[in-house]
Structure 1
Amino acid sequence: MQELLDPRNDFVFKRIFGSEDNKDVLLAFLNRTFAESGEPPLTEIVLLNPYTDKDAPLDKQSIFDIWAKTVEGKLINIEMQLFNKYEIEKRTLYYWSKRYSSQLQEGQTYKELKKCVTINILNYSFIANDRYHNVFHLREDHTGLELSDDIEVHFMELSKLDDQAIPVEGGLINWLLFLKGADKSNWEVLKMNEPTLKKAMDTLEFLSQDREARRLYEERQKYLHDEASMIEWAMEKGLKKGRAEGEHAKAIEIAKNMLSVGIEVSVIAQVSGLSEREIESLKPIQ
């Protein structure tokens, strides 16, 4: 039997959680997520960008985030981050705000705006505490009074999980241990705790044995490694705001290289010091 694919690869993650056939898997995962932030369980979820065979791993138009909506209209975005793209908090707020503001059509009032939830699953540590699941809302500093419930941001840090600490009851940690790649000998325990995990595991095993799925996975894995290496290289070069004017040409050259491998403009701006408008102007004319 071939080695299992890594479910932390965003292409594989979306195949498991973001397909119409596996909506029950996504629903179970979300209910365990929201249970930890004190919210009632969901009974139904609508996928706004379900996985299709047209989602090519190297196509810049393919989106491997999962966008979903509840029957009440609450919007949910789930993103798997295998490598650190830096400035994740600013990136999160930027994309959260775009999703939130895009709800309004011309002539609609602000009361039409629905809650937007962002769930970031990170393969690295980011928040300076020992909690593997942190949830953020908009509250008053002294009293904890909530200004609005419309913003909710989750960070799940797989690096903070103890692989040996297999839980004895149901809960989100079972799902996260599966995503982290817990020893397969522990799968039976995880399935007993969370029965819907069996379908996620069966999907992963099927994909791991499928030749075309493995080929697409390897293409995506190479792309993610190349992207991470490019960002690390640019960071090591110290290309950031405040650099000497003489380095401007070098910053442009590196920005072009990063554009060529599909790195987001906002990330390139952070590591190069160039403005997003300047970077946009470097894109080849279609």
Structure 2
Amino acid sequence: ARKARGREENIRNKIMSRYLNPYTDFGFKKLFGEEANKDLLIDFLNQLLPNHHQIAKLTFRNTEQLPALEPERKAVFDIFCASASGERFIVEMQKAEMPFFRERSLFYVTFPIREQAKKGKKWLFQLRPVYFIAILDFEYDESEERRRFLREVALRDQEGDLFSDKLHFRFLQMPLFQKQEYELKTHFDKWIYFLKNLPDLEHIPAILNEPVFQKAFRIAELANLSREQYAAYEQNLLDYWTSTAVFDNAMKKGWIKGKREGKREGKIEGKIEGKIEGKEEGKIEGKIEGKEEGKKEIALTLKWKGFTLEQIVEITGLSIDCVRQHLLSSN
């Protein structure tokens, strides 16, 4: 029993850090989606907006958007808010690449556009701007020479002139942000560095030691969570590990096929159904229920991330011989 508790503690130490992971649903909404932390969201969004759309105040809106007609599909946003002057902002944290992500982005912006129509009143189509901001934990497919961390998209004509100022997209491809602490020049740089490196930090870097980031670090500190919040985050983090492990290995094994020639037609040929169950009070019984092949692929990713053989066995539920054989055959 003592040995088992020791293994659980080792796993916990490996998974948990001082600060929460903002790529998880819990972590992202804890930082940016709570009323008490609106100042953090405003400060972050203003780094992505032109001067004439800077936010002074904002209001959170219902993240579940129902269709105009019953059979149509609804949309559920991570964060949906509006400024005092009427601009709408959808903010999404996307953990893993999905088919038709761009099309999904277009579908999402139809909701804040359509809701501006004044029912039962004379309305002259005076739209307020809509911004779709996506923080991506992956690179979406572009040709090598066009790869960039921040991609800004607007409605432009064939001459490149702005056709309308009412619709804007911001895609942040986080893996392409490679700046180190000493290279951070702008406030925007600091925000991106904070989001990308937060789970690995053990203290506030000197360059981030200013009020807005001091608050963000305080909100993100796991020790400040209640027991219920901690248990919810722990489960959420393990779910995140599962989803990223599945995607990473699907890419490595060639289950996701495509072309990197400006546009890729992605196809997922393998399906892994994984679920990690965790218990609160500091105890993780990391059991993954699903197909054995899925467990093996997650085991391989855990190995890449530095987990020991014993930890992998504890998390996946596979036998030690099975894990050892799979890891050896994958070298």
Q: TM-score range by the shorter chain?
A: 0.5 to 0.7
Root mean square deviation of aligned Cα: 3.5
Could you tell me how far apart the structure 2 residues matched to 1:91 and 1:6 are?
25
Once residues 154 and 178 of structure 1 are traced to their aligned partners in structure 2, the CA distance between those partners, rounded to angstroms, is 18
**1:24 alignment counterpart:** 39
1:161 to 150, 168, 177: 177
The equivalent of 1:47 in structure 2 is: 60
1:236 equivalent in alignment to 2:249: no
The correspondence for 2:148, drawn from 125, 131, 148, is 131
TM-score, normalised by the number of residues in structure 1: 0.68
Partner of 1:119 in structure 2? 133
How many equivalent pairs are there? 230
In the TM superposition, residue 82 of structure 1 has moved relative to its aligned partner by: 1.4
Alignment map for 1:45-194 (pairs within 5 Å): 45-49=58-62, 65-108=78-121, 109-126=123-140, 128=142, 129-142=146-159, 144-182=160-198, 183-184=200-201, 187-192=204-209
- Equivalent residue in structure 2 for 1:211, among 206, 221, 227: 227
Worse-matched range after superposition: 15-24 or 211-220? 211-220
Larger Rg: 2
In 2: Cα distance, 1:237 partner to 1:32 partner: 34
Give the equivalent residue in structure 1 for 2:311: none
Query: Quick one: which amino acid aligns to residue 58 of structure 2?
Result: I
Q: Structure 1: 5+ residue runs without aligned partners?
A: 51-60, 244-250, 259-286
1:282 aligned partner: none
Provide the C-alpha distance between the structure 2 equivalents of 1:230 and 1:42, rounded to a whole number of angstroms.
36
- Give the drift of 1:207: 5.9
SS of aligned partner of 2:228: helix
Deviation at 1:11, TM superposition (A): 1.8
Give me the whole-angstrom Cα distance separating, in 2, the residues matched to 1:68 and 1:28.
14
Q: Secondary structure at the match of 2:205?
A: helix
Work out the CA distance in 2 between the residues paired with 1:191 and 1:199.
11
Give 1:147 deviation, angstroms.
Answer: 1.4
Q: Quick check: 2:21–2:237 contact (8 Å CA) kept in 1?
A: no
Change in CA separation of 1:211 and 1:62 when aligned onto 2, cut-off 3 Å: farther
Q: What is residue 266 of structure 1 aligned with on the other side?
A: none
Give the counterpart letter for 1:174 in structure 2: K
CA distance in 2, matches of 1:22, 1:99: 23
Distance 2:256 2:239 in 1: 21
Aligned mates of 2:223, 2:79 — CA distance in 1: 19
Shift of 1:197: 1.4
Unmatched segments (≥5 aa) in structure 2: 1-12, 64-73, 258-264, 275-331
Alignment partner of 1:11 out of 7, 26, 42: 26
Instruction: Judge conservation of contact 1:5–1:214 (CA < 8 Å) in 2.
Output: no
Report the AA paired with residue 98 of structure 2: K
